């Protein structure tokens, strides 16, 4: 096999992977991703249940927040991993809460700081009354430059959907 043909096969397989639809959620949908996405699992959107979100590359952030007492350990999928899973093409993530509050998270910032969509706090799932079930979380303690009103505004809790723009 020539190197050129091998590269062709590799590129062909990469295209097939990105074109393959996401699996259909087996459990309750926790997150819907829409907008500039190429991998969906119905009606042009990508829906994720808890198991699907847990299967993505995860991050852990131990930090204080302006909304919680003391430092907590938050765990959940990296926002960048969600972006990659849906074959997104935009450079901004409009994060929308259950009450329709929304904020834009720049993709480069999310990837640089390892921003997560927290699903657990101190090892427990987060109920709606405690910022869950999903909470955009920055590593505030590790990066003092993130302790600004602008970044705090992006820390949306009770996340229901993300629109890739």
Residue ranges and CATH numbers for the domains of the chain are: 22-164 (3.90.420.10)
95 and 88 Cβ atoms separated by less than 8 Å:
no
User: CA-CA distance, 88 to 132, in Å (whole number)?
Assistant: 24
**Dist CA 159 CA 165 (whole Å):** 17
pLDDT (tens digit per residue) in 43-82: 999 999 999 999 999 999 999 999 999 999 999 999 999 9
pLDDT of residue 20: 72
Provide the pLDDT confidence category of residue 19 given band limits of 50, 70 and 90: low
Total residue length of the chain = 165
Torsion sign, CA atoms 102, 154, 36, 9:
negative
Residue 93 pLDDT greater than 70, yes or no: yes
> Model confidence at 21, in pLDDT bands (50, 70, 90)?
confident
**Total-model pTM:** 0.86
> What's the whole-number average pLDDT of the chain?
90
């Amino acid at each position: 096999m020539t190197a050129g043909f091998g590269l062709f096969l590799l590129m062909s397989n990469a295209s097939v992977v990105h074109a393959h639809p996401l699996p259909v959620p087996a459990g309750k949908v926790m997150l819907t991703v829409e907008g500039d996405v190429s991998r969906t699992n119905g009606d042009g959107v990508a829906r994720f249940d808890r198991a699907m979100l847990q299967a993505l590359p995860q991050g852990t952030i131990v930090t204080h927040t302006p909304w919680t007492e003391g430092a907590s350990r938050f765990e959940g999928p990296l926002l960048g991993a969600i972006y990659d899973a849906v074959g997104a093409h935009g450079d901004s993530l409009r994060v929308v809460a259950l009450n329709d509050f929304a904020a834009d998270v720049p993709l480069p910032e999310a990837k640089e700081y390892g921003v997560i969509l927290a699903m657990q706090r101190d090892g427990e799932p987060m109920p709606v009354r405690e910022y869950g079930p999903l909470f955009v979380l920055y590593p505030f303690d590790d990066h003092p430059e993130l302790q600004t009103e602008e970044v705090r505004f992006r820390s949306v809790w009770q996340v229901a959907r993300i629109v890739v723009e």
